[in-house]
Amino acid sequence: MHSPPMDAHIRELIGLAVTEDIGQGTGPGGDPTTELSIDPHWHASAYLVPREDGVLAGSFLIPEILGHYSKELIYKPLMSDGQKVSAGCRVGAISGPVQRMLSAERVVLNFFSRLSGIATLTRAYVDCAARHSTIPGTPAICDTRKTTPGFRVLEKYAVRCGGGVNHRMALFDGVMLKDNHLVALARRFPTPMPLADVVRHLRQALPPNMPMWLEIDSLEQLADAIIGGPDFILLDNMSPKEVRRAVQERDRLSANRQPRLEASGGINLENLPDYARTGVDRISVGAITHSAPILDIGLDVDDGKP
């Protein structure tokens, strides 16, 4: 699993999290609990251990986090991002001064548990869709822009670790025409234009490799939307029955299953099987980022006792 580059933005997030926990300008010593209770000369190993089954994401951040507390802290991954893990197994080891290790514990776990929770929930959706799909390889489970501010790159990486597919990263790398955009566009033309003509007109102004989504909320718009030729048609808040009809109509009008059809709105693990059986190409689910519970992961220090 290719992790995002450790760029200035991610380093800034980590720095903010560290400062939030140990205070501004205090250095690693901003933890009076460990200062008072842990021998500064005690060096040992500790293990990251999930308390429940799940999927890992975010382990690549751990060395960068530990470096804020001590250059002597060493992280060794025992399992990789994207791997399914069982409760009680050791997924990583940290060695070095225990005082600094325990100061770093919460920040490490906050990142690791949060991203692993997203990967775990995404995998649940991916596995459920695969079990009920009528066409191998579909539907893909996609994320949305409903992410924690500042954490989008990391949360979308976690979605990939769970087997999901990233939607556009942000506003800048794709065009998505939704209901409000279509209302606004109607004011730009002196005479009303069919939806297909609007899409074609805008397409001509786009860079050649920029994808376009067109959102529709009724099947009456579908044929015109297909003629317009967007890359994806977003079927907003449609029932499984309506989505199935949209797939059938698209396949009747297009021999190569283009444009791709994407169902969105109100889809959860309970109704996902019904949507997966429709033959739709993609299903976007905001919940895999905005509502994922953490994966409970603990840090267990090895005190050397049998």
Task: Give CA–CA dist 88/234, Å, rounded.
Answer: 41
Residues 54 and 119 sit within 8 Å (Cβ to Cβ): yes
Specify whether 71 is catalytic.
no
260 is catalytic: no
Residue with tokens 């514990």: 105
Beta 84-85 vs 175-177: how paired, if at all? unpaired
Structure-block tokens of residue 264 = 């969105």
Domains of the chain, start order = 8-118+293-302 (3.90.1170.20), 125-290 (3.20.20.70)
Give the global pTM.
Answer: 0.94
Quick check: 162 and 120 in contact, CB under 8 A? Answer: yes
Per annotation, catalytic residue among 21, 231, 236, 274: 236
Q: Would you tell me how many other CB atoms lie within 10 Å of the CB of residue 32? A: 9
Catalytic residue list contains 106: yes
**Annotated catalytic residue, options 11, 145, 146, 245:** 146
What's the Rg (C-alpha) of the chain? 24
Q: Of 11, 84, 106, 257, which is the active-site residue?
A: 106
- Residue 2's CB is within 10 A of a number of other CB atoms, namely 8
* Cα dihedral sign, 221-226-227-231: positive
How would residue 306 be classed by pLDDT, with cut points 50, 70 and 90?
Answer: low
- Tell me: the pLDDT tens digits for 134-167? 999 999 999 999 999 999 999 999 999 999 999 9
pLDDT in tens, 58-103: 999 999 999 999 999 999 999 999 999 999 999 999 999 999 999 9
11, 178, 200, 203: which is the annotated catalytic residue?
178
